[in-house]
Structure 1
Amino acid sequence: MNTHKTIFDTTLRDGEQTPGVSLTNEQKLKIARQLDKLGVDVLEAGFPVSSDGERQNVRAIANEGLSLDVCGLARVLTKDLDACIDCNVDMIHTFVSTSDIQRIHTIKKSREEVVAMAVNAVEYIKDHGVKCMFSAMDATRTDLDYLIEVYKAVEGAGCDIINVPDTVGIMAPSSMYQLVKNINNEVNIPIDVHCHNDFGIAVANSLMAAEAGASQIQVTINGIGERAGNANLAEVVMCLHSIYGAKTNINTEYLLETAKMVENYTGIHMPANTPIVGDNAFAHESGIHTHGVLEKSDTFEPGIMTPEMVGHKRRIVIGKHAGKHAVKKSLEDMGIETTEEQLDEILIRIKDIANKGKRICDADLHAVASAVLGRNLGNETIILKEFSVMTGNLTTPTAVVRAKIGDEEAVASNFGVGPIDAALKAVELMIGGYTKVKVRDFSLEAITGGSDALAEVTISVEDEHGRVVSAQSASADIATASVDALITAINILLEKKKLWSME
């Protein structure tokens, strides 16, 4: 499949239909701009007839002057089509149910009526000078002969591209291949596919459709969408590029950046093991793996896809499965040199800690190395003096932090959506003149019970070059634990930066 495929993104339409997700107008506009930067060919901005707010969103995106085509969704109803036309979209995606189960029980139309409605909608769109995509909803449960009849009818009406949706996600990849192959043999306009992930094979079905002749694939960022979601853009694109040798217009170096934006706006967290863009996608802990990767990355990574290709970074993780090479490399990154005997002792202590179920952070490795070498490694650039947080149901959470940074005293205050957010933002503001960092990950776990439970906070901070350092702290006061962990991580990062600046 050494050919070019176009990418149709429906994050702002089907993606926003994810249960519990509701994007603001400004968030939608920012995502649209990001998708344009990413290189998406078509963006489905929304379903304009559904509400006045939705219509305003779609119109704003259509008028943004983006390079991609902006598409609006519409049923085969004149009011829906007019709503899209009123938004000045480049393309209208119109649809009607064609499977017997949906046709009989939802729209209650005969097969002949459905064909007529589809043709009328396509002709209406083309009469208004707009590109048209027609979708036979629930195509994968539609009688094949009838499905082809519908597609041929809209092709004759001037449709630009047809969509084959696996609406309820029930196709096996081999069946998807055969279906698209059959349709491709009968129609002469491009084929697009829209696969749902109910059985976890939306990406596989999309790729099989592409093998069978589909020229365009519908996707969402992070695979969000109705029920179990849609085909994941990053996975589809990187499979096309790296495995199939196909081309798209996607600028893959922005995949992680885009995924993080959508994760942040939707609140749908990506599991660490998410392919391509997850935190663990290029992370290694096993001693055998890390040894190999440190020698040559292709030994335990695909090779045909590197972290740099998708805007990611390789990470060596220290834990119970870590080997001597990984620990040595991590210590060297901190500017710590050891003898073989010291290295062996550090490895033993690290494994002892990890075997008790504790996640090993950079701060832990630093502390263990200090103990084994019998000296304090590095200085604390930032020494916390005091901090306070004011919050309540009538007060915007506000934090004030005072610390000694080098030989100077610094004070900063900031607001947040909660006391922890305010405290962390105050620290970031306070150290802004010394180094640029942002909180990359934050996790909280209660390690004792009761209202006075001891909480353990783990924080990862990232500098302007994408380098990450992690630290933990435990306290009955969550805000205290959070600030302590953050400052510990920043201190280690500052020590590392001194080393990096000498390289």
Structure 2
Amino acid sequence: MENIRFLDTTLRDGEQTPGVALTKEDKLAIARKLDELGVHIIEAGSAITSEGERESIRAIAAEGLSADICSYCRIMQPDIDYALACDVDSIHLVAPVSDLHIRVKLKKDREAVMQMAIETTEYARDHGLIVELSGEDASRADLDFLKSIYQAGIEAGAERLCFCDTVGMLIPEKTEAIFKDLAASLKIPVSIHCHDDFGLGTANTVAALRAGAGEAHVTINGIGERAGNTSLEEVVMILEWLYKYDTGIKTTELFKTSRLVSRLTGIPVAPNKSLVGGNAFSHEAGIHVHGLLADTSTYEPIRPEILGRERKIVMGKHAGKSSVSLAIKEMGYDIQDSHLNEILKRVKELGDFGKHVTDADLQSIAETVLNIQCNSRVKLEDFTVVSGNRVTPTASVKLKVDGQEVVQAGIGDGPVDATIQCIKKAVAGVGDIQLEEYHVDAITGGTDALVEVLVKLSKDGRMITSRGTRTDIIMASVEAMLNGINRLIQAESSDRIKE
């Protein structure tokens, strides 16, 4: 592999993704970022499409970028005239080469297509454009005819050629054989342009480059028609890290570019997308996080910083002590093993309910657990709540107060109120505790949101704010009440000792 170049067609083939329409400002922003990455050729669009498209292409061409600015053209003179009016450096001149496309789409024969390709190549060259002559649907074309049209294009002045796997029919073995043949029989560079209909776009592109292709057509995030095109970030990182080839691409900007294109096109990147997906450097399983703490290469093929990314530790049912401990320490908390075990238990409980634990969830859980004292005088044994349209909300609670079992029942305006009234009656023996304020927040959105209950309790003029964090609002309320009660009792005991 030598002198490999990249033609990025995010702004042309990528924009042909159903539902995507980029403004001139969007296209300029993406073009600038592609140029910063070090892409050699930017296919800025197809000048024949519309006046708005031409305005965008002209704006990109006038930007003074280092990359060669290119327009897609059919083998028709008006397409080339429109491209010339946009002041582009080169054209991607596409000639249908499979008998299916020639007969069905163009309703012509091979000789007519050959003549059209020669004439338009000559016309473009006579007007100062660099021509990359492309064989559309080349993977289903007769190889001898394809080579003859390439050879005619070279004689007409084409400086680059392109082999298009238009509907993703190539396999790596066939790609390698084809490009070894083309590289040996043709005197100018041949590009590879793949689509991902069978998920082989990247594999076929890399196979072509290893077999002698001089250029790869790619898009950011692999966007494009149907299943998309070959992904720039995948090809670059495969060449850089697996084949040790220096592409010249600024890899630390790949993730930012991916996010920019995703935002402007409105196409989200799949979480499991290689390299730039949200989960590519996220870890949940405890054994993996434990290995990462010892050496990040245990479960990461490359460091996320290479792509301009950061590592993420995700909390869920697969989390282990290592991941929870690391995340808690990053929040600035110093925790004991007893606290860690309780936090881990709650994280796993949420995971078992199918919930992803966010940073905000974890912080709330940690703050709740850290406020629960190990020597609590009031502990929950059990509680039951009955409520409904025609039923007065009723609750019963069983607590251990100073080691003695206490059972209370009561009613309220709702299930939460009924439960709180029961708790207040059950702890009456240790003091008259008043609920001054009650507040509920959902930490995250959705019907399965983690609920944080804040209560303000008072006893003999002393005021304490406490919290409870659960997916169940009643359980969160019970936790907040008992946490606050125990802290009030402990504070009172501390005052007595000082006296």
The normalised TM-score by structure 1 is 0.74
Q: Residue in 2 aligned with 1:289?
A: 288
Q: Residue in 2 aligned with 1:332?
A: 329
1:311 equivalent in alignment to 2:308: yes
Decide whether aligned partners of structure 1 residues 105 and 253 sit closer, same or farther in structure 2, where only a CA change above 3 A counts.
Answer: same
The 8 Å contact of residues 255 and 310 in structure 1, kept in 2 or not, is answered as: yes
Once the two structures are TM-superposed, the CA of residue 366 in structure 1 deviates from its matched residue by 2.1
SS at match of 1:93: strand
1:74 equivalent in alignment to 2:73: yes
Once the two structures are TM-superposed, the CA of residue 300 in structure 1 deviates from its matched residue by 0.7
Q: Deviations over 1:418-455 (max 9, x none)?
A: xxxxxxxxxxxxxxxxxxxxxxxx995455xxxxxxx8
Q: Residue in 2 aligned with 1:158?
A: 157
The 8 Å contact of residues 361 and 444 in structure 2, kept in 1 or not, is answered as: no
Q: Residue in 2 aligned with 1:346?
A: 343
1:357 equivalent in alignment to 2:358: no
Pairing partner for 1:368 from 365, 368, 384? 365
Once the two structures are TM-superposed, the CA of residue 94 in structure 1 deviates from its matched residue by 0.6
State the distance in 2 between where 1:456 and 1:229 align. 38
State the distance in 2 between where 1:191 and 1:81 align. 21
Q: Residue in 1 aligned with 2:267?
A: 268
The 8 Å contact of residues 70 and 90 in structure 1, kept in 2 or not, is answered as: yes
The 8 Å contact of residues 4 and 246 in structure 1, kept in 2 or not, is answered as: no
**Rg (Cα) greater in structure:** 2
1:456-475 map, 5 Å: none
Q: Residue in 1 aligned with 2:424?
A: none
State the distance in 2 between where 1:456 and 1:259 align. 31
Q: Cα RMSD over matched residues?
A: 2.1
State the distance in 2 between where 1:11 and 1:183 align. 26
Matching residue's letter, 2:241: S
1:95-494 map, 5 Å: 95-302=94-301, 305-374=302-371, 445-446=446-447
Once the two structures are TM-superposed, the CA of residue 372 in structure 1 deviates from its matched residue by 2.6
Please, which runs of 5 or more residues in structure 2 have no aligned partner? 374-442, 452-468, 473-499
Once the two structures are TM-superposed, the CA of residue 249 in structure 1 deviates from its matched residue by 2.5
Q: Deviations over 1:270-300 (max 9, x none)?
A: 1111111111111111111111111100111
State the distance in 2 between where 1:320 and 1:456 align. 15
Q: Deviations over 1:445-470 (max 9, x none)?
A: 455xxxxxxx889xxxxxxxxxxxxx
Once the two structures are TM-superposed, the CA of residue 227 in structure 1 deviates from its matched residue by 0.8
Q: How many residues align?
A: 386
Decide whether aligned partners of structure 1 residues 443 and 52 sit closer, same or farther in structure 2, where only a CA change above 3 A counts.
Answer: farther
1:84 equivalent in alignment to 2:83: yes
SS at match of 1:274: coil
Q: Residue in 2 aligned with 1:468?
A: none
Q: Residue in 2 aligned with 1:7?
A: 6
Once the two structures are TM-superposed, the CA of residue 23 in structure 1 deviates from its matched residue by 0.6
Once the two structures are TM-superposed, the CA of residue 371 in structure 1 deviates from its matched residue by 3.0
Once the two structures are TM-superposed, the CA of residue 6 in structure 1 deviates from its matched residue by 1.0
Q: Deviations over 1:303-333 (max 9, x none)?
A: xx32111110011111111111111111111
The 8 Å contact of residues 6 and 249 in structure 1, kept in 2 or not, is answered as: no
The 8 Å contact of residues 41 and 249 in structure 1, kept in 2 or not, is answered as: no
Once the two structures are TM-superposed, the CA of residue 69 in structure 1 deviates from its matched residue by 0.5
Once the two structures are TM-superposed, the CA of residue 349 in structure 1 deviates from its matched residue by 1.9
State the distance in 2 between where 1:49 and 1:473 align. 59
Please, which runs of 5 or more residues in structure 1 have no aligned partner? 377-441, 448-454, 458-471, 476-503
Once the two structures are TM-superposed, the CA of residue 369 in structure 1 deviates from its matched residue by 2.2
The 8 Å contact of residues 5 and 246 in structure 1, kept in 2 or not, is answered as: no
- The structure 1 segments of at least 4 consecutive aligned residues displaced by more than 6 Å after TM superposition are 472-475
State the distance in 1 between where 2:312 and 2:163 align. 40
